[in-house]
Structure 1
C-alpha cells in the first residue's frame, strides 16, 4: 500500500472512531519504515542519536495531531461530497490551508531544537527526508480524492 493510499484509507476508514485493525497495523509498519528510512539516511553517531530520537518522537507526536485533523477533514469531505454546500467547501479549504500553516509552524518551532541535536548537514538531510515523505503522502491523497463537484 502506498503512503498516500495508506493515509487516505486511514482517513476514510475510521468511521465513528473505529479503526480497522489491518489499517492500524499498516500505520505501525509505515511509521517504522519512516523511522528506518531516517535512521539509514542520517547515520547518527551514538551522541547524535541520544539527542535526536527523543526529539524526533516528540515532533512525530505533534505532527500526529495534524495528521488526525487532516483525517477528520478528509472524512468530512467524503461525507459532504455529493451535496457539498459553498460553506462546506470554504471550510474544507480553510482547514487545508490552516493545516499546512501549522505544519510549517511546527517545522520552524522544532528547528532550533533539532539544530542543537544534529550537525547542519544532517539536519538539512532530515528535513529533506521529512519533506519527501510528506509530499509523497500528499500526492497519494490528492490522487485518491476527487475534485469538488
Structure 2
C-alpha cells in the first residue's frame, strides 16, 4: 500500500504538464523504486515548471539573467517543502490500514502546514522576484507557480485515499 500511494503521489500531479509527452520507448527497464519515482518526478516537475514559466513570462535578456538564478533557488526551497509532504504521505501510507486518530490528525496537520509553508514561500519570493523584475512580472511568476501548485495538489489529493 505504501509503495502504491507514494507512486500515485509522484505521478498524479503530472497530468497537467505531461499530456503532450511522447510515448515511452519500447525498452523495458526494471521497475523503479519509490525513491527513484520521486526523484525522477521531482526533476521532471522542476523542468516542466521552468518551461511553463519561461513560456508565460516575457523577460529581457537582463531580466532573464537575474530572474532564472532566483527561480532555481525558489525551486530548491519548494523541493524541501515537497519532501515534507512526501514524508507525511509515506507515514500515512504505512499506517493506512490501521490508522489511529493521532496518525490521521498528524497527516492532515502536515498537509495544512505544507499549505502554509507554500504560502509563506510564495509571499517571500514575490518580494525577492521584485528586486530583479517589475512587479507585474513578479506577480505573474507567483500566479503561474500558484496555478501549477494547485493543479498538482488536486491531482495528488484526488489519488490519496481519504482517512477512513
Pairwise same-fold verdict (TM > 0.5): yes
CA 105–26 in structure 1, closer or farther in 2 if over 3 Å, else same: closer
Question: What are the within-5 Å matches in structure 2 for residues 1-149 of structure 1?
Answer: 8-9=9-10, 19-20=35-36, 24-149=39-164
Q: What are the superposed Cα offsets for residues 7-26 of structure 1, whole Å, 9 maximum, x if unpaired? A: 71369xx97xx623x65444
Q: Secondary structure at the match of 1:91?
A: helix
| Distance (whole Å) between structure 1 residues aligned to residue 100 and residue 85 of structure 2 | 20
Range moving further from structure 2, 76-85 or 26-35 = 26-35
Structure 1 residue 139: deviation in Å? 0.5
CA 97–37 in structure 1, closer or farther in 2 if over 3 Å, else same: same
Structure 1 residue 93: deviation in Å? 1.4
CA 140–10 in structure 1, closer or farther in 2 if over 3 Å, else same: closer
Contact 1:6 1:23 in 2 (8 A): yes
TM-score (norm 2): 0.76
TM-score (norm 1): 0.84
CA 133–26 in structure 1, closer or farther in 2 if over 3 Å, else same: same
| Distance (whole Å) between structure 2 residues aligned to residue 67 and residue 31 of structure 1 | 12
Instruction: Structure 1: give runs of 5+ residues left out of the alignment.
Output: none
The residue that corresponds to 2:21 in the other structure is none
Contact 1:10 1:71 in 2 (8 A): no
More helix by share: 1
Instruction: Structure 2: give runs of 5+ residues left out of the alignment.
Output: 1-5, 13-31
